[in-house]
Amino acid sequence: MTERGLLIVLSGPSGVGKGTVRKAIFESEDNDFQYSVSMTTRKQRIGEIEGVDYYFRTREEFEAMIDKGDMLEYAEYVGNYYGTPLPYVLQTLEKGKDVFLEIEVQGARQVKEKVPDGVFIFLTPPDLAELRLRITERGTDAPEVIDERMKVARDEIEMMSLYDYAVVNDEVPKAVERIKDIISSEHFRVDRVIGKYRKMLEEL
Amino acid sequence: MTERGLLIVLSGPSGVGKGTVRKAIFESEDNDFQYSVSMTTRKQRIGEIEGVDYYFRTREEFEAMIDKGDMLEYAEYVGNYYGTPLPYVLQTLEKGKDVFLEIEVQGARQVKEKVPDGVFIFLTPPDLAELRLRITERGTDAPEVIDERMKVARDEIEMMSLYDYAVVNDEVPKAVERIKDIISSEHFRVDRVIGKYRKMLEEL
């Protein structure tokens, strides 16, 4: 019996290093999941390969996908759509393979609504653990600057509350190890495996 | 700020090898948690050390602990009490250290009621994953024998449903690695860390 794969979503505030961590995970030896290629309406650049870097589609094609409910998540940046096509993700999960998405926080929120049993990992800046320092201890900063930093920190923490795990990106290899531990242990969660056992008994 | 430690509970059907796995975890290099010494009313045997193997207490002393609500879990076997004293566990967690309990399923159920945010790991026999084989494929077994095996399997699966994780004990070193991955990733769960960040902001 094939166990359904896990949908793993890595996200976090912009500039936190999601792309670097994702690359390091896929370059590490014992990874065993599929990276989901994004779809975009922006122009293909020289050297970029269709189906590897992106699926390149027209605006009309992309909007048709949205209308059919075939986008797991999408957003518009600088006049172009970027998103994750749903069919490939579902097929891969059904085959028992884990799918790894590295996306922006707005996208992660959409995925959470559609696939609530995904594994949602929030990558935090190294200094979120040193919030106090970052916010107040520069001494000479104007109150408005401190207020702004407080607001940013508060927003990041509230974003985090939608996720299952918060991993500090202090050093890339450490963050990679933490994420790999999380993925392997999620496979042992009772609510993910007990159905398999129950079904086995029923079928006897 | 000290983060509260995790209470880790390893349990499973009798004979599954809980003790062996627990020993291997504590003998492994990078373990960083406290083993909670049990309390018992049975006689101290030659070579056993008070506070290392067990806390040896009289029946009256043990029952006084129960009455005060000072036992995290306990049970009676063959006329003697065995259990986990609560105060040491709480002090250790408050210090930010993880506490590891290896106990019977009845005890785990009591702990689940008192400390619902503990990490509950169910160790399964290697052949629970091969249930069908175990139950039916011996060919010559009488229907009563098969029924009995079905019942045992069903009970094990229902026990499992109270736990967070189910780890197969196919090979001890593998089970140890899985359990260590689970413990390290549980430290990154958002519901365990977000309070720390929120408190930090409030205190600014």
Q: With contacts defined as CB-CB under 8 Å, which chain A residues touch B178? A: 184-185, 188
* Structure tokens that stand for A88 in this block: 């490939």
Helix, strand counts (H, E) of chain A: 8, 9
Which ranges of A104-142 would DSSP assign to H, the alpha helix?
105-114, 131-136
Instruction: Tell me the shortest Cα–Cα distance from B53 to chain A, in angstroms.
Output: 31
Express each pLDDT in B17-66 by its tens digit: 888 999 999 888 777 788 888 999 999 999 999 998 899 999 999 999 99
User: CB of B107 within 8 A of CB of B63?
Assistant: no
State whether A185 and B190 contact (CB < 8 Å).
Answer: no
pLDDT beneath 50: ranges in chain A: none
B33 touches chain A (CB under 8 A): no
A136 touches chain B (CB under 8 A): yes
ipTM: 0.84
pLDDT beneath 50: ranges in chain B: none
Choose among A33, A164, A90, A199: nearest CA to B164: A164
Given this model, what pLDDT does residue B127 score?
Answer: 66
* Structure tokens that stand for A39 in this block: 């779809």
Q: With contacts defined as CB-CB under 8 Å, which chain B residues touch A150? A: 201, 204
User: CB of A99 within 8 A of CB of A111?
Assistant: no
User: CB of B135 within 8 A of CB of B150?
Assistant: yes
Q: With contacts defined as CB-CB under 8 Å, which chain B residues touch A148? A: none
DSSP code string of A29-43: TT--EEEPPPEE-SP
Choose among A176, A21, A125, A173: nearest CA to B197: A125
Q: How far apart are CA B117 and CA B104, in angstroms?
A: 18
State whether A165 and B185 contact (CB < 8 Å).
Answer: yes
The answer for B 154-193 residues in CB contact with A (under 8 A) is 154, 157, 160-161, 163-167, 178, 181-182, 184-186, 188-190, 193
In the predicted model, what is the mean pLDDT of chain B?
A: 88
Q: How far apart are CA A96 and CA A72, in angstroms?
A: 19
CA A204 to chain CA centroid, nearest Å: 39
Instruction: Tell me the shortest Cα–Cα distance from B82 to chain A, in angstroms.
Output: 28
**CB-CB: which of A164, A194, A203 is closest to B157?**
A194
State which H helix or E strand residue A85 sits in.
strand A80-85
User: CB of B170 within 8 A of CB of B164?
Assistant: no
State whether B204 and A154 contact (CB < 8 Å).
Answer: no
Which ranges of chain B would DSSP assign to H, the alpha helix?
18-27, 59-67, 86-94, 105-114, 131-136, 143-160, 172-186, 190-202
* Structure tokens that stand for A54 in this block: 């992106």
A10 touches chain B (CB under 8 A): no
Q: How far apart are CA B164 and CA B98, in angstroms?
A: 17
State whether B178 and A188 contact (CB < 8 Å).
Answer: yes
User: CB of A114 within 8 A of CB of A10?
Assistant: no
Given this model, what pLDDT does residue B137 score?
Answer: 67
Given this model, what pLDDT does residue B132 score?
Answer: 66
Q: With contacts defined as CB-CB under 8 Å, which chain A residues touch B182? A: 185, 188
Length reported for chain B:
204
* Rounded (to 5) percent helix, strand, coil in chain A: 45, 20, 30
B131 touches chain A (CB under 8 A): yes
* Structure tokens that stand for A51 in this block: 């189906």
| Beta-strand relationship, B39-40 and B80-85 | antiparallel
Q: How far apart are CA A173 and CA A109, in angstroms?
A: 27
Query: Is the dihedral angle over the CA atoms B134, B135, B141, B147 positive or is it negative?
Result: positive
| Beta-strand relationship, A98-102 and A33-35 | parallel
